[in-house]
Amino acid sequence: MSGKLPLIVLGLGNVGQALLRQIIETRRRIADRTSLYLAPIALATTSGLLYDADGLPEETLRTALEMVGRGGKLGDMIGVRSPGDLPATLRPDAIVVDLTASPLTVPFLHAAMERGCGIVLANKIPLAAPWAEARPFYEYPRLRYEVTVGAGLPVIAALRYLLDTGDEITHIEGCMSGTLNYLCAELERGAPYSTAVAQARALGYTEPNPRDDLSGKDVARKALILARTAGWPLEESDLCIEPLYPASLADVPVDEFMAALPALDAEYRARVRKAEAEGQVLRYMARVGPQGGTVGLAAVPKESPLGALHGPANHISLYTARYQFLPLTISGPGAGPEVTAAGVLGDIVELGRLAGTR
């Protein structure tokens, strides 16, 4: 008989919907393999809360997926509660799964830690906050956050493995944004910068406001998470971040921002040509070490693994005392709701197994 593993799921965006589908489709197989039966007891968004202490019926989960999938709100469902009732759902045997991109979940996460819950984060914001605020999360033993860097790639797991076996991390570098990798590939192909950004936006690769990607802040958050996991309590101010637009466009309306981008085409065409003349290509990279790091465009050899990178892929290299000259490298799809949800599922199962051994 499999034991129920209660789940409290925050957020039903693309990843949240993919996770629910994967739970419904795979939980019997997971139970056969791990003796853990995944049982969502709460689904919460800003519009409402669905809760059943014994586990929400599968019909309710499917109805929620259908409602949200067609653009509706959880708050429109029959039997929905106020999001304000969420704290009452906490119990020590539950795992809280934060799939939002919001700082508003932080107080609830602290309450979950106080109750001894497991926590799985796709939300990078708590981990990339100022160190004094983020530190309790890194020190909490029942917290996992694999998908905050590299989606479903086992980047955090590899870093932890190295640290747990006594290795010393010297620096970390790589391409950590599928969106910006796509942009660089389009520039390399000859597309004007403004066209490449517009195409990425039309394909859904960027956020509705492309500056959320082009600012480099999402990559910087990932670099901070890797650094802090490695044992370097860096702040965002320790990173030199290069946005892919001038400061004058930082606060204008989105339509005005997009209309102004052709003025940048010549600058980026010149950078691409300069790299080509030296047998190199441009990649948006993060490099971080114990003292800080850089996030921005860098020229890399065209024949290198980074130079061969195309599409929404990530490529992250861990340099250590043992891997000095040939780093431990993780490469693969670094975006997409299905692979991200699978990474979340892996963290859930790991925490469930650990709870069973306590």
User: Active-site residue numbers?
Assistant: 222
Hunting for tokens 């693994």 — which residue is that?
305
Calpha distance 271→273 (Å, rounded): 5
| Runs of H (alpha helix) within 35-164 | 58-69, 106-115, 125-128, 131-139, 155-164
Cβ–Cβ under 8 Å, residues 291 and 173: no
Helices 178-189, 193-202: axis angle to 10 degrees equals 140
Instruction: Give the tokens for residue 106.
Output: 């932080």
Considering only CA atoms, which of 297, 279, 272 is closest in space to residue 287? 297
Considering only CA atoms, which of 219, 209, 294 is closest in space to residue 253? 209
Give the β-pairing of 169-175 and 143-144.
Answer: unpaired
Please state, in angstroms and as integers, the Cα–Cα distance from residue 316 to each residue in 87, 174, 184, 188, 330, following that order: 37, 4, 17, 21, 5
| Runs of H (alpha helix) within 35-70 | 58-69
Instruction: Give the tokens for residue 290.
Output: 């114990």
The per-residue b/e assignment along 38-49, b for 16 or more CB within 10 angstroms, e otherwise, is: bbbbbbbbebbb
* Long-range Cβ contacts of 269-275 (<8 Å, 24+ apart): 269/192, 269/193, 271/297, 272/187, 272/188, 274/299, 275/299
Hunting for tokens 């040939």 — which residue is that?
326
